Structure 1
Amino acid sequence: MKAPRKYFEPLAIGAPRPLLELPFRLERMIHFVPPHNEKLRAKAGELVSQVDVLLGNLEDAIPIEAKTAAREGVIAMARATEFGTTGLWVRVNALNSPWFLDDMTRLVGEIGDELDVVMIPKVEGDWDIHFVDQYLALLEARHGLKRPILVHAILETAEGVNNVASIAAASPRMHGMSLGPADLAASRAMKTTRVGGGHPDYRVLADASEPGAARPSAQQDPWHYTIARMVDACAANGIKPFYGPFGDFSDPAACEAQFRNAFLLGCAGAWTLHPSQIAIAKKVFSPDPAEVAFASKILAAMPDGSGAVMIDGKMQDDATWKQACVIVELAKQVAARDAGYAAVYQL
């Protein structure tokens, strides 16, 4: 185990010093762009005003014959686009792939100053993060970067979920992690071909009241356990948890329900793979105005968080005060970026 005093030392001579705290960014949606597709890549300039994070995808969904074109495309997109307060991320190819080294050397060398976060797929343990951490430090030192590039891990194997706590604590470079439900389902031998969301056969059945009587049943969320483990690991280490992809673009209601489950459990945002999902993520991961108004009442009634008060017939104490702080702080972050929400929240 690394000594605490050395945890925040640069890992290469001349590399930027690791951050003590994550920089503030609203990240309700991480919008994926396939950069090998010139037509879609050309829309990046329009998208930066609509999304919190724009991500160039180099891994899954990019054909093998298009890997090089995708890498060139994301570099071109970064150079041609003014991102402002919108984050620029890249999902590189997996650590065991033949494209990973070129992804990293080209990205850091050519657009390192613009790149905020590198998303690493199929992270299995802290050893993966240690390798990326060291390699990024060497590249940052070589190219004279002034700020460190952060790392975001995707949980998409059973081993990764098993090691989620050590992954979250592996490096001060850690930004957060996302659930990758499709690859994780395959890793676990789950019997589904869906990309995220529930399954109609994953249900609980009410006890039989009498022979032959109808028995109500309800569909359950097969990802609840994993999301909760990820949220706990991230919260304990001061990094951010995210829900990953929802693959059924024809079912916005189910997408919204899955995003909302993740939001309520503590996730900061979700991936958006189709433009129709941007508005869903924006709605879900921005707190409800009624919740913000009630939370503001709690803070006004308990300025220092001590004691207990009754508001609208409900008892409030220091625990609900802390909950109210979470909601109001998020509302302030949303209002700072979105004038529409600022008017509604009245903060």
Structure 2
Amino acid sequence: MPDLRPRRSVLYMPGANARALEKAKGLDADTLILDLEDSVTPDAKADGRAQVCAAVASGDYGRREVTIRVNGLDTEWFAEDVRAAAAAGPDAVVVPKVDSAAQVVRIEEALVAAGAPAHTAIWAMVETPLAMLRTFEIASASDRLAVLVLGTNDLAKELHAEHVPGRGPLLAALSMALLGARAAGKVILDGVYNDVRDLDGFAEECTQARQFGFDGKTLIHPGQLEPCNSIFAPSEEEIAQARKVIDAFDEAKATGRGVATVDGRMIENLHVDNARRVLAVAAAIEDR
């Protein structure tokens, strides 16, 4: 089973913006991605790097999971980003545009060479057609790789696809990424929703992502946190139903039966496993 640490809401914060980094300390995000890539201009890379790494090393973000998105492997900033991140010791280093297992190995080697602590995981962003075709290869390339992050904007661009309600043009890619992540036993996060004013559309996309099986969603605005946290958390009704399923199955086993019936539906091991996962996720959220 993938790591059940709550990652319902994973918020990008611009690494060169000191006010944003300070504001992030009070936001109800499960995870923060302090960004050194897209949100930081080339002439601000060095200052952004120093600011982000100081923020991570400060320990001021409490129990939130804090990660650093470095610049890509093929950029002039990657090596220094990794060295600085390794010294800061975030929960993970997020690397954009990972297309192969060989790149994952290179990332891991760079982290090891830089002396990154063992707790600093790799999060690989998969955002190209080639990455979609290789998600299992990428996800299983290293035990240090913990999470796949979908980059749906870049993927849509490379597919020449339109952004439309329901994401029809991307559904095949979403499914392939999920298959690869789950086959490798890794966590997978959905991409961002671009219109920060459209909370109804955002909620619909969160619901779709949860129904697909994503563990959470990456966000670009604090206003998206509350609906995302709510949608990706088990509801009170789901928790009560899970307990009902487990109790009924335990009672059936105690009387020598291998199946039980709950609300007219047959319950067997797979339903119990699902119910236990619901309770484990709810407990992890409560404990965060």
**Same fold flag (TM > 0.5):** yes
2:112 to 126, 137, 141: 137
Partner SS for 1:88: strand
Structure-2 change in CA distance of 1:295 and 1:229 (3 Å)? same
Report the identity percentage: 25
Q: Deviations over 1:170-207 (max 9, x none)?
A: 001111101111111122222x2x4xxxx15xxxxxxx
The alpha-carbon deviation at position 266 of structure 1 amounts to: 1.7
Provide the residue aligned with 1:175 in structure 2.
Answer: 146
Per the TM alignment, residue 220 of structure 1 is displaced from its structure 2 partner at its CA by 5.7
Distance, in Å, in 2 between the alignment partners of 1:227 and 1:187 is: 15
- The one-letter amino acid of 2:78's match is F
Please tell me the residue identity of whatever aligns with 1:324. Answer: A
Question: Is it true that 1:250 corresponds to 2:197 in the alignment?
Answer: yes
Counterparts of 1:278 and 1:267, CA distance in 2: 16
- SS of aligned partner of 2:182: helix
CA distance in 2, matches of 1:118, 1:104: 8
Superposed CA RMSD: 2.0
User: Matched residue of 1:51: which SS?
Assistant: coil
Alpha carbons of structure 1 residues 220 and 138: separation in structure 2 relative to 1, 3 Å: closer
Q: Equivalent residues in 2 for 1:266-285 (5 A)?
A: 266-285=213-232
Paired with 2:231 and 2:281, the residues of 1 have a C-alpha distance of 12
Could you tell me which residue of structure 1 aligns to residue 5 of structure 2?
Answer: 25
Q: Which residue of the other structure, out of 118, 139, 143, is the alignment partner of 2:93?
A: 118
Q: Secondary structure at the match of 2:168?
A: coil
Do the aligned partners of 1:44 and 1:77 also contact (CA within 8 Å) in 2?
no
* Paired residues for 1:189-268 under 5 Å: 189-190=160-161, 192=162, 194=163, 199=164, 221-268=168-215
Deviation at 1:274, TM superposition (A): 0.4
Q: Distance in 2 between matches of 1:329 and 1:98?
A: 42
Q: Give the TM-score taking structure 1 as reference length.
A: 0.77
- Which residue does 2:58 correspond to in 1? 80
Please report how far the alpha carbon of residue 24 of structure 1 lies from its aligned counterpart in structure 2 after TM superposition.
Answer: 5.5
TM-score between the two structures when normalised by the length of structure 2? 0.91
1:319 alignment partner in structure 2: 270
Matched residue, 2:85: 107
> Which of 123, 127, 134 lines up with 1:156 in the alignment?
127
What is the aligned partner in structure 1 of residue 49 from structure 2? 71
Q: Given that residues 126 and 132 in structure 2 are in contact (C-alpha distance below 8 angstroms), is that contact kept between their aligned partners in structure 1?
A: yes
- CA distance in 2 between partners of 1:82 and 1:226 (Å): 37
Where relative contact order (Cα < 8 A, 6+ residues apart) is larger, the structure is 2
The alpha-carbon deviation at position 44 of structure 1 amounts to 2.9
- 2:32 maps to what in 1? 54
> What's 1:208 paired with?
none
2:149–2:190 contact (8 Å) kept in structure 1: yes
Partner of 1:97 in structure 2? 75
C-alpha deviation, 1:146, in angstroms: 4.8
Q: 1:296 to 1:107 in 2, by over 3 A?
A: same
Q: How many residues align?
A: 284
Contact 1:45 1:81 (C-alpha < 8 Å) held by counterparts:
no
For residues 299 and 129 of structure 1, what CA distance do their matches in structure 2 show?
Answer: 40
Give the AA of the match of 1:177.
L
Inter-partner Cα distance in structure 2 for 1:25 and 1:56: 19
Where 1:302 maps in the other structure, the secondary structure is helix
What amino acid maps onto 1:25 in structure 2?
A: R
Tell which structure's C-alpha radius of gyration is larger: 1
State the Cα deviation string for residues 49-76 of structure 1 (Å, max 9, x = none). x221121111113222222222122022
